[in-house]
A = this chain, B = another copy of it.
Amino acid sequence: MTDIKLNHLAIVVDDIDAALRFWRESLGLTQAGAVKSIPAEAVDIAFLELGDAHIELIQPTTAEGGVAKYLAKRGPGLHHLCLEVPDLDATLNELRARGCELINETPRQGDGRRYAFIHPKSASGVLLELYESI
């Protein structure tokens, strides 16, 4: 066992209300909080509880931006995986030393979290977000 745990699994959708009807009403997951607009990223997001982790639904609100382009190109579906690691700097240093491609060379900060994205090229095609455990 390691101290690495799932924080969230993100799904890009074209209609967050329809998505909530499926995941919450039809399947029975519990929604955590209300749908939240993030104008700076041009997305609406919602979270569903999954044990002590979450499923994050992301709907682009404009045709621009990375998520909108992803949706236009690949359609709705699984978008990224976010794992928590105990020491983000140590993990990034280890990944860098092993030749992995990091999207964020140094941790970024948001909502009280230190995080960094790893490029899908180095992570089996998965857009991998790493959070530092708090």
Which residues does A use to contact B, with CB under 8 Å? Answer: 1-2, 4-6, 9, 11-13, 19, 21-23, 25-30, 49-51, 53, 57, 74-79, 81, 83, 85, 91, 94-95, 98, 100, 120, 122-126
Contact = CB atoms under 8 A, between A and B. Distances in A.
Contacts of A75: 125
A26 B85 CA distance: 13
Contact of A51 (B5, B21, B77): B5
Contacts of A11: 124-126
A2 B83 CA distance: 22
Contact of A124 (B6, B19, B122): B19
Contact of A1 (B25, B49, B57): B49
Contacts of A6: 6, 9, 50-51, 53
For A11, A30, A57, which residue has the most chain B Cβ atoms within 10 angstroms? A11
